[in-house]
Structure formats: structure tokens, C-alpha cells
Chain A
Amino acid sequence: MIIGLDVGGTHTDAVLFGSHGLARDVKVPTDPDNLYETVLTALDRLLENQKARDVKRLVLSTTLATNMVVQNTLPPVAMVVSGGPGIDPEHFRVGEHYYVVPGALDHSGREIEPLDEAQVKEIGEKIRAAGLPYVGVVSKFSVRNPTHELRLAEVLAPFVERVFMGHPLSGVLSFPRRIATTYLNAAVFPVHRDFFSAVQETLAKKGIGVPIRILKPDGGNMNMASSLTYPAQTILSGPSASVMGAIAFAPQDRCCLVLDIGGTTTDMAVILDGAPVLAAGGIEIGPYKTLIRALQTRSIGVGGDSVVRVRDGRISIGPDRLGRALAYGGPLPTPTDAFCVLGMADGGDRERAEKGLLPIAEALQTSVTEAAERVFTEACREILAAAQQMVNDINSRPLYTVHEMHEGVRIQPDQLLVLGGPARQFADRLSSLFPGQVRTVPHWHVANAIGCALARTTCEVTVYADTARQVVTAQGEGYHEKIPSGFELKNIREVALDLVRKKALARGANPEFVQTEVIEEAQFNMVRGFYTVGKNIRVRAQVKPGLIHGYDPVSETLNRSDL
């Protein structure tokens, strides 16, 4: 059996999933000040009268790391960076203990300025004196040549508990993002380690021995051991849980818009031909732009409990939420009250809702019922407008080759998948506004937790080869090999696919069902003085985000003897 658990801002959802499909689901309120208790409460309730040892897989999505970043409660860590020519690295400062040191590499990874190790040692002394247990080290172009980062880590190791390097985090080029990502990794580490170790220990006492898996914002998961190396990759995983919950129901040959409508916000994403669309850069959170791979999502402050007002004779919804709807004892009118007035809600105090909407109706010079209709329609319109904006953003991503321009695939969703608390009510109205099919995702109230339960283990690698220098590297993987000068794209493709497979297995993927693919590849002749001296080859490969093998979305059952 599989457990999927998604800690949300207001609720924590958990499901137990077995060979016959969804066996049990629970919803408990989230206590943001005690996520550990929240998680354990949900798990206890989920496992009442169940055999703990039947649990073969357990995937968590938490707001732990996200909250630390958003609430600015990250502990201080030191950063040592070497940039060389370009933008002054001082502009990318994170935290108080940020040191810029000499040392530079060029775009091909050739050293153009050595490190000053004596100076680095002095900095090490300062970091120790300041009592900082963690340091992040980053150099510009380290993904082309990690030597400087490796050496910085070596020199600083005696002064701290643990050193975090930039190059293993991503093969993507961006020095500022590498700095931010390394910093978050180091800063999130202690709390992440303590939290999940505690959860793991407690579960072990209950008889659940399988290692915890943690959801990532790209819709995949990694095991606990990998998460200690990349703890920042658990930030902002929430929206991906919902998308993965919807993905089983998205047709393989169409473009679907996923709407997860909650109390405070609506999160949206696009599933193209059965696979979620990934964001072009990494996630952005608070002041940090990172290299953390994520699904392309967008969140707007329109949800069931968003405050409804009339401004200049027009309805405005959100972006704030001031507690629950009036019908459930809240302070101000909300879309949920509109449902209640229109007789679409299960329960709730209809009288209170009507009374609350009265000022809105008066301001609009109409009846309460009509006002409720208009609130409802406006909420749907705003959600669809934001979704269209996201689709436009995806369509306006720059392309770099004539071939891509020629293909010029523009996406336009023709199907809507709705999930979340008020999914049923919204789906009804959305179908009159959206030019395509509108469906609610089965088990829409806990589809996010189902998404956690069924998400695959994912990862990616970037391989860079230079046949003139006869080297192939995948820095994040610690891979650095000699190659014959005759190597071509197809050889490097094999290297990349092999590496991504190994990485997925290390992260906990099932060796029998790893599906790898190449997502980007290019090969350039390197010409020096009118002669071709070799080839510059770049390949990115990934395990495509998706659901685990054996899940059948039609019968909603799982055909896996090992789970």
C-alpha cells in the first residue's frame, strides 16, 4: 500500500492507496507552528486499524522549507563565492556572512585566475569564529569545471560541519541562481534533516520501515537520503501534488488546464499530451531566484474564501482571505457564500450568507440572488483570465533555432480539469465560460494527496562534451571521463541516459520501471582558424514526471505486487 500526504496551508490531506485504489482518505487542519504534529495526526488517523507493515511506499509533500523561506526564518549560513570578470558578485549577496574571493573560470571551464587559498583559510577561521556550521561555495562556470568549488570545499571543510557546493545542484548556467540555490540548500538543511529524521523514527516505531520519499516542485519525488543532499529541492512542492493528482485523467493527445481551487488561492498548470509543462527557469520564492526545477504553475488570490467587495460599481474578488465564509461563521462575504445563496453548497448557514451578500447586492443595485450569480461568474472569469495569461507566457518563451521557430507549437488548452474544495461548484459554472470540456478530477477533495502517492521518482542530468579536449563531464554527477575524438551526439546521448538512470535509482526509483528521455540536445562544430577541431555537444536528459508504473486511471487501481 502507498501513503500520500500533502501538507497544505489550511488542510493536510492524506490518502491510503492500495491495489483496489483509494482505500481511505483523511483531512486534518494544518498547524503551521507544528507541522510534525500535523503530519503525525494525519498519519495516525489514516492508519487506524491498518497494518503498518503493508505500507510499501510513503510520499510526503510539506510546506516546511517553503515556510522557512517565506517567513524569513532561515538560520544564518556562510557563503564563499568566486566570480571573476562580469557582474560584481556583491550584487548577489545572500546573508551577512558572504565572502567574494579571487578565482575565475571562463565559459569553457578554463581557469583564468587561480584561487587564493590562504585567503580562503582566513575566511574559514572567521566562519568558525562566528559559529556557523554550514557554508555554501559557488564559483562562476563551475558546471563546466568544478575544480574551484571542490578546492574551496576542501579548504573550508576543517572549519565547519558541512560544505554545500553549487555545481551538483543543476547543470543549468546561472551564477546568481546557483548562489541563491546553494544558500537555500545550506540554510534549509538542519531543519529539514531534524524534521524528517523525527518523522522517520516515529514511523519506524509504528512499524513502517520504508524510507520516506519527499515530493519536489517538478512533480517527482526523491528518497530521504537524496533529500539531505538537496533539501532545497523540496521547496514549493504543493502545486505539483495537485497537478500529479490530475495527470492520470489528462488525455495523452490533448492540452489540459489544471485548476486547483482552494480556500485562499487557485493554482493552475498545463498538461500537454499527458505530461506536465515544466517552467523555463527554476522556482522563484521570496527574494530568491533559484535553479530548482519546477512545473510551470501560477497562483492567484481567488478561492472559495476570498473576500468579495464592490469597487467602482464592479465586483472584485480577493486576493485576501480573512477566515472562512460567512456561511461558516466568517467575517466577510466570499464566493462560498454565493454558492450557499444559490443553493449549491452542502451545509452552511444560508441566511447568514444572504445577509452578508446584501450590501454587495445593494452596491450593484440588484437582487441578492443576481449578486450571487455575478460573484460566481466573476470568480470564474478571473481564474480563466489568469490561466490564459499563463498560457500566453508559455507561448511567448523565446526559441533559439530555426527548427523550433518552424515547429512553432502554440498551446491552447481544450480541456479543463478541476480539483480542490469547491471543485464541483466551480466546474459547473466554468463549463459555461470555457470553450472546451470541463471535468472534475475524481476524488477532487484529496486528489493532491493521491498525486503525492503516485508520483514517480524524477531527476535530470546535463552532459557536456568537448571532443577537441576529448572530455565528457556531468558535473553534478561527479562524472568526468576521457572520450575518443570521434564521439558524436549519439554517444553522448547514451552517456546522458545512462547517468540519469543511475541517478534515478540512487534517488529511489524502481529499476524495472525507469523511463528516461532526452529533453535537449545540440551538437556544434568547433572551428578554430577555419578548421574543425572537434565537436561541442550538450545533452540534457530526465526521468519524465509522471505516475508510477502499474496505475490504471480507468479502474483507478494499482497493479503492482511490490507495493
Chain B
Amino acid sequence: MLRATHKTGLVFFPAFDWAIDPTHPEREERLLYTQDQVFEEGLLDIDGIVELKSDLVTIKDIQRVHFCVPDPWAVITESHLISAGGAKTIGMAVLDGTIERGFALVRPPGHHANRVVHGARGFCNINIEAIMIEYLRRAYGIDRVAIVDTDCHHGDGTQDIYWHDPDTLFISIHQDGRTLYPGSGFLNEFGGPNACGTTINLPLPPETCDEGFLYAIEKVVLPILDEFKPQLIINSAGQDNHYSDPITNMSFSARGYAQLTSLLKADIAVLEGGYAIEGALPYVNAGIIMAMAGLDYSHLREPDYNPDRLRQDADVTRTIEKTCNYALEIWRKRSSIIHTVRQKSGCAERQRQIFYDTDNILETQQEQIRICDDCAGALRIDSVSDRGVRILGVQVPRKACQACIDQARHWYEDADRNVYRHIFLQDRVKDQYLERKI
């Protein structure tokens, strides 16, 4: 009889009644055929695979991660609470030991949602992985976490949230930002002045095949994970690298995704993008589930799978090798890079504009981080959208040192009420979220 060698939990929440709009790629139908395939294969009946009922996240769970403008209710729907809740349910089951690994097959996705949320970007409103991770840190005392984002789009939201966190390793493998939304995720984005090297980007050229992806995983991702020694590995399992995906240009197959999953051995996978809903998703998702559970997936293939047509160009291979070597070098030299990044002591600043493509909002951000060797650093974000709402978000990081706590308090209490519509303090030490009232 068929039996999973790793006890695997699934939360399946296809949100059959939620869409951005009727013909949007992120629509009701997206996981319909995946559900058909998963049910018909009988995956949920296999000994050692269990289906869990999704729990909801709370507003407090969201506020542990985000500054929502003006408040969480304004930027989310109930389906976001459920999809983040699906990830949280899997995370809790893994840490409770009721399952060894788990996959949150949920929608809507989250990896393009930044720390500040004025609306939806890249089909994402809130970052479901980050909400899960910060909950697990709070509830289970987890410290070091690695996120490997294998969605075809750069996981810019997750990168933003963990940019300054040296305890969270974020690796994103994606199609080169010069050729695809959101246009970021280059090699020189490797983390803020307190967390150099714990953000790693592997932009791969269009037409990268199974071979190229698996090369990046084996040559870069696995050695870095080995060295970083995370307590939890999370896979942002986007499936839009598939050769038939309508909005990207990569050449990854269902079997490639299954192999990637076997190599990565993630504790938790969370579904991200993937829009070839008929020809790819049913097979890719089945493959990921089978690989997580340790089942034989050698009989799995797409109806139109043709390995001969999915051979990688020599040019592509060379570019991938160069990218991988460069990324490894950044990782190895991360402690010396820190000194070049920290040109002056005190605080570092960055100014950015962020476009919310889904909701058509433009945000301008001024970010200040206290340079600190003792913690992740107090963070101050001054954010204004082109709809005229200006807010201040101040963060006390987890494990903050006293100097950073004082700095954050100071920023929060001294902010000018006449300038900002809202002044927020996200205190991860006290697990509090405050808004300063007049």
C-alpha cells in the first residue's frame, strides 16, 4: 500500500468564490483543475497525507508584520484572512509535530506585499509567509528562518519585510527583473546595513529549464542553507516558471518542480503564483505534494510534456553559472561588504517609490534604519501615497537592544501630528501595535 515517508499536511483553500475581477489571472477558477487532479489521484487518501482545515489569522497577526493604511480592514478581504490562516495552520501543525511537513495550497497569494500596505500589488495584499513566520516566532520561540522563493516573479514584498533582518535568510530565484514584473531582484540587492548577505537574489534568464533551476538550487541555495542553519525552511512555491505559464517566459516542468521540492526539503511550502491553470498547475501541485510526502513521482508528467523541447541554450547555461558564482561570492564576503555599505555611523536612509499595479497607487517612501551591531535596528518609515495619505511607521525589531528601543520610542513620540495622518508603532519586543492619538 502507498504510504508517505514524510507525514505531510495540506491546507487546501481554493477560494472558489474570490477573484480580483472575472477575467483576472487571480480568479475563482485558478485552483479548480488542481483540485480535480488532487482528488482524482486520491492524494488526500494516502496514509501519511492529511488535509487540515484552514484557520483564520487575526488582525494582531497582520499588524505584527504590516503597517496597513489606514487600517487592515481597508486593505484586505476575508479571503486574505483565510489564505494567511492556511499558512499559519500548516506552520502550527509542523511545530506541534502533528505533521513533518506541510503545503498551504491557498489563494490569494502574498509575496509582493511589502511592510507598508496601501493596497494590492502583483495580486497580493498581505504577505502570508511573513505573517505565518512572525506568528511562529512569537508562539513557538523560533529564531532563524530561511525563505526560498521559487516563484517566477521576484518576491519583492518578502524581501522588503526581511531586508533588515539578519535572522531571516531570504533567497529569491526568479526571471530576470529586466524582463518581468516587478522589475527588481538583482544581484546587488543583498540586504540592509544590519543584514548584509541574508537577502540573496538569483535572477535567471528567460527560457531557463529544469536543468538551470536545479543547478541554482544545488550550487547556491543548498550550500547557503547548510551554512545559515535555519530552524525552519519555507518555500514560497510559485508555479509560474512553468513552460506553459501565460504571463512569464521560463521553461520549468512539473517534474522539475517535484525535484526542486525533494532537494529543498522545506518544512513548509506556501503557494504563490502560477497561472497555467489547466495545463500546468494540476500537475505541478500534485508533483509538489508527492515530493513533500516522499512518494515516487516518476510517472507524473504534463499531457504535452516533451523533454526534447525543453533543452536549455548554452548561452542560458553560461549566464546562470555566472549569476550563481556571483551570488555565492556575495554570501561569502558578506561580513566585509557590511563595512562598505555602512558609510557613516548612526542611521542609514533609503528613498523609494513603490507602484501598486493591481490598485494603481504610487507610494513614496523614506526609510531610516539605526545602524546597530546588537540587533536588527530600529526602523522608521515615512510613507505617502498619491492619494494623499501620509503615515509614519516605526518598528522595534524582535530582540531589539535598549538603544534601538529608545530610538524607536523617540521617533514615535516626537513625530509631528500635523504632518502624518497616522503614526504607528510596531513593537515586536512587547508584541504590541500602537497608533498615537492626539
Contact = CB atoms under 8 A, between A and B. Distances in A.
A527 B286 CA distance: 22
B315 to A, nearest CB: 29
B11 interface: yes
A530 B22 CA distance: 9
Contacts of A88: 296, 299
Interface in A399-434: 399-403, 405-406
Contact of B12 (A172, A400, A405, A527): A400
A86 interface: yes
A87 interface: yes
B40 A173 contact: yes
Contacts of B41: 86-87, 175-176
A289 interface: yes
Nearest to A86: B41
Contacts of B397: none
A107 B38 CA distance: 10
Contacts, number: 121
A527 B23 contact: yes
B321 interface: no
A522 interface: yes
A287 interface: yes
A287 B283 CA distance: 28
A400 B303 contact: no
Contacts of A91: 1-2
A113 to B, nearest CB: 8
- Please list the 5 inter-chain residue pairs (A to B) with the smallest Cβ-Cβ separation, ordered nearest first: A176-B42, A112-B303, A173-B39, A107-B36, A173-B40
A527 B246 CA distance: 12
Contacts of A140: 40
Interface in B39-80: 39-43, 45, 51-54, 56, 77-79
A88 B45 CA distance: 15
B40 to A, nearest CB: 4
Nearest to A538: B32
Contacts of B16: 400-401, 522, 524
Contact of B52 (A398, A530, A532): A398
B300 A526 contact: no
B367 interface: no
B318 to A, nearest CB: 33
Interface string B281-310: 011001000100001100111110000000
Nearest to A395: B53
A405 B299 contact: no
A291 to B, nearest CB: 11
Given A86-B41, A86-B299, A399-B13, 10 more contacts: A87-B41, A104-B303, A107-B278, A112-B303, A398-B52, A399-B54, A401-B14, A403-B17, A526-B29, A530-B23
A179 to B, nearest CB: 9
Interface in A492-537: 522, 524-527, 529-532, 536
B306 to A, nearest CB: 13
A403 B79 CA distance: 9
Given A85-B299, A108-B278, A398-B51, A527 B17 contact: no
Nearest to B13: A400
Contact of A400 (B14, B43, B278): B14
Nearest to A144: B36
A205 interface: no
Interface in A364-423: 396-403, 405-406
Contacts of B79: 402
B2 A87 contact: yes
A189 interface: no
A107 B22 CA distance: 22
A287 B32 contact: no
A316 to B, nearest CB: 26
Contacts of A110: 303
A405 B54 contact: yes
A279 to B, nearest CB: 13
Size class of the contact patch on chain A: 35 or more
13 contacts: A83-B299, A86-B41, A87-B41, A87-B42, A87-B43, A92-B42, A107-B40, A175-B41, A177-B42, A402-B82, A524-B16, A524-B28, A526-B29
Given A85-B303, A402-B15, A524-B29, A396 B53 contact: yes
B181 interface: no
Contact of B53 (A83, A112, A399, A527): A399
B164 interface: no
A470 interface: no
B27 A281 contact: no
A31 interface: no
Nearest to A111: B303
Contacts of A524: 16, 28-29, 32
B33 interface: yes
A183 interface: no
A200 interface: no
A55 B13 CA distance: 51
Contact of A525 (B15, B22, B52): B22
Contacts of A86: 37, 40-41, 286, 299-300
Contact of B42 (A112, A175, A525): A175
A404 B296 CA distance: 34
Contacts of B52: 396, 398
A406 B54 CA distance: 12
A106 interface: yes
Contact of A85 (B22, B53, B246, B300): B300
Interface string B96-137: 000000000000000000000000000000000000000000
Contacts of B40: 86, 107, 140-141, 173-175
Interface string A97-116: 00000001011101010000
B282 A402 contact: no
Interface in A159-181: 172-177
Interface in A8-57: none
B215 interface: no
A177 to B, nearest CB: 6
B18 interface: yes
Interface in B1-25: 1-2, 11-18, 22-23
Interface string B260-289: 000000000000000000100011001000
A536 B29 contact: yes
A530 B43 CA distance: 31
Contacts of A87: 2, 41-43, 290, 295-296, 299-300
B53 A398 contact: yes
Nearest to A525: B22
Contacts of A398: 11-13, 51-54
A104 B301 CA distance: 12
Contacts of A529: 246
A176 B290 CA distance: 15
Given A91-B1, A524-B16, A525-B22, A174 B42 contact: yes
A85 B283 CA distance: 9
Interface string B378-417: 0000000000000000000000000000000000000000
Contacts of B2: 87, 91-92
Contacts of B43: 87
B269 to A, nearest CB: 17
A397 B54 CA distance: 9
A87 B51 CA distance: 18
B277 to A, nearest CB: 9
A281 B45 contact: yes
A529 B24 CA distance: 10
A400 B13 CA distance: 5
Contacts of A174: 39-40, 42, 45
Contact of B27 (A399, A525, A531): A525
A405 B79 CA distance: 9
Interface string B76-95: 01110010000000000000
A163 to B, nearest CB: 22
A174 B41 CA distance: 6
Contacts of A526: 29
B77 to A, nearest CB: 8
